[in-house]
Amino acid sequence: MSASADPAGRRLGGLAAVVAAAAYAADQGSKAWVEATLAVGESIDVLPGLLRWHHVLNPGAAFSIGTSMTWVFTLVQTIVAVGALVALVRVRSRPWALCLGGLLGGVLGNLTDRLFRPPSFARGHVVDMISVPHFAVFNVADSFIVCSMIALALLVLTGRRLDGTREGEERDHHVEAATGDTVGRG
């Protein structure tokens, strides 16, 4: 059965699209809010000593690593986004769909900044605003990327495959064809 004719695959693709859209909207919405509310470098305490909104522009990656290599991060994020889309075509597992959707939404959020924010196309600075003690300032997209990657690592470490089976299990196509359900969906 092709992916386009597989209703379960379409549903999981739709679920991933909803998660990606929600992650992207939360990221871009929070960035628009911080830009409208705070000047670059300005802060607001949310939970004094624990959490503050702090508007910064980051040309690099986490902890401002590679500030002169913005174009490399743009390229890497483009490759990750394409990889997530390719994996989503094959996904038959709800946890994988959720994780890939979160990863895609987060990557697209930061990629939008890199492509379209100053100083120039594909070299834009990412808006960061979440500040906690003893840690780099980050944004909603970063949170989705990190949480999704941790969850994906757990799926891999526990042997859950894209098709919903666990390592060592074979997919039972006869049961799936008869019931329309997948065996071992996780």
181 catalytic residue (yes or no)? no
Helices (H) and strands (E) counted in the chain, each on its own, are 5, 3
Active-site pick, 142, 163, 172, 181: 142
Q: How far apart are the first and last CA of the chain?
A: 20
Q: Are 55 and 41 in contact (CB under 8 A)?
A: yes
d(CA 54, CA 49) in angstroms, rounded, equals 13
6 catalytic residue (yes or no)? no
Active-site pick, 27, 128, 163, 172: 128
d(CA 90, CA 140) in angstroms, rounded, equals 27
Q: Which residues are known catalytic residues?
A: 128, 142
